[in-house]
Amino acid sequence: MEGALTARDRVGIQDFVLLDETTEAAFLSNLKKRFSKDLIYTYIGTLLVSVNPYKELDIYNKKQMEVYMGVNFFELPPHIYALADNAYQTMLTEYNNHFILISGESGAGKTEASKKILQYYAVTCPSTTLLNTVRDKMLMSNPVLEAFGNAKTLKNDNSSRFGKYMDIQFDSQGDAVGGHILNYLLEKSRVVHQNHGERNFHIFYQLVEGGEDDLLHELGLEKDAQHYNYLTQGECAIVSSINDRNDWKTVKNALQIINIDEINTNHLFGIVASVLHLGNVQFDSDSKGHALLNNNTELRWVSNLLGVDAQSLQEGLTYRKIEARTDQVLSPFTIDHAIYARDALAKAIYGQTFTWLVNRINESMENKDPSRKTVIGLLDIYGFEVFYVNSFEQFCINYCNEKLQQLFIQLTLKAEQEEYEAEDIEWEPVQFFNNKIICDLVEERHRGIISILDEECLRPGDATDLTFLERLEDKMGNHPHFLICQSKNAIVRECFATVDPDSRRRPETVATQFKSSLLKLTEILMAKEAWYIRCLKSNESKQPGQFDEALIRHQVKYLGLMEHLRVRRAGFAYRRKYDVFLKRYKPLCPATWPHWRGVPADGVEVLVQHLGYLPYEYKMGRTKIFIRHPRTLYATEDAYEKCKHELATRLQAKYKGYRAKGEFRKQKEAATKIETCWRGVQARKEREKRAWAVKVIKKFIKGYMTRGQAKCTDNSEYLAFVRQNYLNRLKNTLPKTVLDKTTWQSPPAVLTETSELLRKLHYRLMVRKYVRGITPQRKAQFQLKLLTSSIFKGKKESYPQSVAQPFVDTRISISVSNLTDSIIVFHITCEDPKQKGDLVMQCDHLFEFLTKLCVIANKQNAVKVVQGSIKIEIQAGKESAVDFTTGQEPMVYKAKNGHLMVWSEGKMHKC
């Protein structure tokens, strides 16, 4: 594994544990080699060493974050994301709390590191709209806190002037659901005084430089930092590396996101402005040297902005109120005292406002869901500070660092050695400097610096820096680590400044408060699993690419990195309780899977034998197994991952089968249910249909029975049915010809009359149609027939048979000769051979007869006048002729050829 790691990161060694030698020179050389190639992160085991590059590196983008998500710690080059991810993953798998301690001196990169971790969680943790709001609030708390709590110092243009511990709360899914911030000791003295080259807190400059004209007008401020005493002492109000105007916009937006409403925002800026006005309050003195404050504009602004009575404010700044039993005596201040009171008020106002702000941020990030959360705490605490002149703040800051170093020693070095001893593990003890002695020097009850300070504050009489120093020298002058003699401290002044005016009891001194809060912090941290980031400052001049070896060596030393490395190398990289180890890795050995029935230690022994651990790679302690190198553990972890996948596949298959079965069962049940339902529906329908049918039939029967009655409710439907039915039948069987008198459907009784009407209508219609379709010839025929009828109907018996016989024009024609005879031949067409044929008759009034005949028949061409002979038919198909001739006397006779001979001028004969 180490080989692979070295190959992966070709510049230097990415984990100091893998260095060939553990000298300081080798350590620094490796650090420098990597720094020169912008590899600012290196591990000591799981501790991350970071060197401030003082330039933007392209290693903090989303892509990089994704690369580190869920990847084993040593799988990729060292990165702050790897540590953040590992803490997160461990929290999820072990369901416990963690904290990441980021330490290093001012300007080493702690705040940047904590921001990077927060951003990593913001991007990589699962999110929802709701969670995004929480996430935004967490991210946006930074610019607000930085504006009010950070300032430009000589060491860092954006130095945190307060300690910050932030808990990020996660639910069991790993979603970031809330947060909480604890703040420690804001450097309030900066409000009223800044060293040369330093600035007040950023917010003052942001407001003056970036504030909108209206707002500045309302607050009575000038748009010029030089106008304010509190902003100009460092003589660097404007700094090229800081863009106050842009930062102003960011802060205003951030205030909105963390739910600070407009009213509170206005109050907040009013307070910031009031501090600036306070700084400009100047005092006169009377003849006795007492401070005077008459009709001061700045004071009026302060009273206005803070909403306090101007008179009381004026009294508070120029008089001390002494309470003696029942009386109150006002003792006037000298100018110095008045200035001190003014500054104390400014610091107190600002300090309280900062605490208020942190509380608001906490309210906005609070997660109200009571279910259990795990947390990852981020501790970004000010680093060691040593100035030429060190004040109370430096004392507290350095005490805090000593305390955290103590915690680090306890949790790593000392605990490590003690654990080996407790577990009976052979190893070579590593010498380290235990700074407990320094912590005791500061905090020990009755004997420590803080206790002496408290006593000094309570002692009657005037307490001054000098009297305190005398006490200290008296009590601990011989202590090997008494370090404080150079301090022109503001401790006493600071303590008295916090006296609560309404309380007769003296409050705890700030130092004691700070000590208590540090003890609480230590308790919070002790209950969690620790991860460390040690930030190193690469150079004092904030230059990119500069590796100041002496400066870095110094930091490596006081941060105890070499000792940590030696402990890591001498010791074992990993240890776990037998039962925990066995529980995790038991699937890797058939003898331990799925259950090991014996003692866990024996199970672990069997397991590691099966895995082929070599004797020097591990040690069995009393309750834990100790594994020397990370590679052994990672090989095991890799095997576990593989096996887990196989197991997962098997489980998945089983689960899928189970799910499929379940699904099938469900479907079957559903099908049965649907079927039952469907059947029910069908049966119901069937029942309804039958009920309906019964009703209909009943109605039908009733209707049938009452069909003869007048229409009533009982028979109305039946009658309608009958009517409908009859009309339908009738429609389909209507007579097709007028002559068809038989086909008409006989109607039900109720429709007799209707039927008759319809019948008549129908026949009339047919007749009309028939008449319209009749030809003129046929019409003439009918007229003839009509005539025949009028003549013969009822008179002549054979008439009816004649009706069907159509009259034809060709059946009768008349012929006469051209001679003088009076013979008329009627040609009559006849098919019956038994019937007589044409009629030959003699008529004396031939002309009259035939003419009248023609008139009657309206046929003038009906008579043919023939010469010689007229052909006749004696019978059907039997022809003969009438031959005409002239003779002396008219005669008619049958000639020998069978023809009828007619001589003109003779007597007429009947044939």
Binding site for ATP: residue ranges? 104-111
Query: Which segments are annotated as binding site?
Result: 104-111
Between CA 495 and CA 423 the distance in angstroms is: 48
Give the range of 49-57, 127-135, 706-714, 771-779 binding ligand ATP by CB under 6 A: 49-57
Per-residue exposure over 504-516, b if at least 16 CB sit within 10 Å of its own CB, e if not: eeeeebbbbbbbe
Q: Binding to ligand ATP by residue 156, rule CB under 6 A?
A: yes
- Closest distance to ligand ATP from the beta carbon of 32 (Å): 17
Please count the other Cβ atoms lying within 10 Å of the Cβ belonging to residue 461: 6
Nearer to ligand ATP, 106 or 451 (CB): 106
Q: Which residue has the tokens 């404007």?
A: 238
- Closest distance to ligand ATP from the beta carbon of 542 (Å): 7
Give the range of 48-56, 489-497, 551-559, 691-699 binding ligand ATP by CB under 6 A: 48-56
Give the relative orientation of helices 110-124 and 80-94 as an angle to the nearest 10 degrees: 50
Please count the residues of this chain forming the interface with ligand ATP, following the rule CB under 6 A. Answer: 21
Q: What is the strand order of the sheet 618-620 is part of?
A: 574-577, 624-627, 618-620
Between CA 394 and CA 125 the distance in angstroms is: 38
Identify the three-state secondary structure at position 501.
coil
Contacts of residue 213, Cβ cutoff 8 Å, sequence gap at least 6: 223
x/- string (CB under 6 A) for ligand ATP, residues 521-560?
--------------x-------------------------
- Closest distance to ligand ATP from the beta carbon of 205 (Å): 16
Nearer to ligand ATP, 53 or 735 (CB): 53
Which residue in the set 22, 29, 32, 54 belongs to the binding site for ligand ATP (CB under 6 A)?
A: 54
Nearer to ligand ATP, 158 or 869 (CB): 158
Q: Binding to ligand ATP by residue 148, rule CB under 6 A?
A: no
- Closest distance to ligand ATP from the beta carbon of 104 (Å): 5
Q: Binding to ligand ATP by residue 143, rule CB under 6 A?
A: no
- Closest distance to ligand ATP from the beta carbon of 159 (Å): 3
Between CA 218 and CA 301 the distance in angstroms is: 10
Secondary structure element (H or E) that encloses residue 627, with its range: strand 624-627
Give the range of 107-115, 127-135, 287-295, 634-642 binding ligand ATP by CB under 6 A: 107-115
Between CA 8 and CA 723 the distance in angstroms is: 102
Nearer to ligand ATP, 159 or 250 (CB): 159
The token pair at 861 is 């061409």
Give the range of 54-62, 456-464, 641-649, 749-757 binding ligand ATP by CB under 6 A: 54-62
Q: Binding to ligand ATP by residue 133, rule CB under 6 A?
A: no
Between CA 134 and CA 743 the distance in angstroms is: 96
Nearer to ligand ATP, 396 or 892 (CB): 396
Q: Binding to ligand ATP by residue 697, rule CB under 6 A?
A: no
Which residue in the set 42, 46, 52, 592 belongs to the binding site for ligand ATP (CB under 6 A)?
A: 52
353-412 residues near ligand ATP, rule: CB under 6 A: 382-383
Between CA 746 and CA 752 the distance in angstroms is: 8
What is the largest distance, in Å, between two alpha-carbon atoms of the chain? 210
Q: Nearest-5° angle of CA 404, CA 84, CA 88?
A: 105
Give the range of 156-164, 409-417, 489-497, 861-869 binding ligand ATP by CB under 6 A: 156-164
Which residue in the set 104, 179, 210, 377 belongs to the binding site for ligand ATP (CB under 6 A)?
A: 104
Which has the closest alpha carbon to 218: 254, 256, 262?
262
Contacts of residue 903, Cβ cutoff 8 Å, sequence gap at least 6: 821, 885, 886, 887, 888, 889, 890, 891, 892
Please count the other Cβ atoms lying within 10 Å of the Cβ belonging to residue 871: 14
Contacts of residue 723, Cβ cutoff 8 Å, sequence gap at least 6: 750, 751
Nearer to ligand ATP, 61 or 713 (CB): 61
Which has the closest alpha carbon to 160: 539, 558, 535?
535
The token pair at 797 is 């018996």
The token pair at 418 is 């003690």
Which has the closest alpha carbon to 495: 485, 507, 483, 478?
507
The alpha carbon dihedral of 760, 766, 772, 775 has a sign of negative
Nearer to ligand ATP, 420 or 532 (CB): 532
Between CA 767 and CA 775 the distance in angstroms is: 14
Nearer to ligand ATP, 108 or 846 (CB): 108
Which residue in the set 12, 78, 109, 351 belongs to the binding site for ligand ATP (CB under 6 A)?
A: 109
Nearer to ligand ATP, 112 or 298 (CB): 112
Q: Binding to ligand ATP by residue 250, rule CB under 6 A?
A: no
Give the relative orientation of helices 202-210 and 129-149 as an angle to the nearest 10 degrees: 100
Contacts of residue 313, Cβ cutoff 8 Å, sequence gap at least 6: 299, 302, 303, 306
Q: Binding to ligand ATP by residue 103, rule CB under 6 A?
A: no
Nearer to ligand ATP, 545 or 877 (CB): 545
Which residue in the set 8, 10, 23, 57 belongs to the binding site for ligand ATP (CB under 6 A)?
A: 57
749-788 residues near ligand ATP, rule: CB under 6 A: none
x/- string (CB under 6 A) for ligand ATP, residues 478-517?
----------------------------------------
Give the range of 21-29, 155-163, 308-316, 649-657 binding ligand ATP by CB under 6 A: 155-163
Give the range of 104-112, 217-225, 674-682, 753-761 binding ligand ATP by CB under 6 A: 104-112
Nearer to ligand ATP, 146 or 617 (CB): 146
Nearer to ligand ATP, 56 or 474 (CB): 56
Give the relative orientation of helices 465-476 and 449-458 as an angle to the nearest 10 degrees: 140
Which residue in the set 14, 86, 159, 487 belongs to the binding site for ligand ATP (CB under 6 A)?
A: 159
Q: Binding to ligand ATP by residue 199, rule CB under 6 A?
A: no
Identify the three-state secondary structure at position 818.
coil
Nearer to ligand ATP, 20 or 56 (CB): 56
Between CA 891 and CA 842 the distance in angstroms is: 11
Nearer to ligand ATP, 119 or 755 (CB): 119
End-to-end, the C-alpha distance of the chain in Å comes to 155
Identify the three-state secondary structure at position 401.
helix
Q: Binding to ligand ATP by residue 160, rule CB under 6 A?
A: yes
Q: Binding to ligand ATP by residue 107, rule CB under 6 A?
A: yes
Inter-residue contact 254 to 140 (CB < 8 Å): yes
Which has the closest alpha carbon to 639: 605, 607, 601?
607
Identify the three-state secondary structure at position 885.
strand
Q: Binding to ligand ATP by residue 163, rule CB under 6 A?
A: no
Q: Binding to ligand ATP by residue 77, rule CB under 6 A?
A: no
The C-alpha torsion from 486 through 488 and 490 to 496, rounded to 10°, is 90
Which residue in the set 2, 53, 320, 367 belongs to the binding site for ligand ATP (CB under 6 A)?
A: 53
Please count the other Cβ atoms lying within 10 Å of the Cβ belonging to residue 637: 16
Inter-residue contact 118 to 136 (CB < 8 Å): no
Q: Binding to ligand ATP by residue 90, rule CB under 6 A?
A: no
Identify the three-state secondary structure at position 339.
helix
Q: Binding to ligand ATP by residue 86, rule CB under 6 A?
A: no
Q: Binding to ligand ATP by residue 748, rule CB under 6 A?
A: no
Give the range of 55-63, 255-263, 274-282, 797-805 binding ligand ATP by CB under 6 A: 55-63
Give the range of 152-160, 591-599, 692-700, 882-890 binding ligand ATP by CB under 6 A: 152-160
Rule CB under 6 A: which residues touch ligand ATP?
52-57, 104, 106-112, 156, 158-160, 382-383, 535
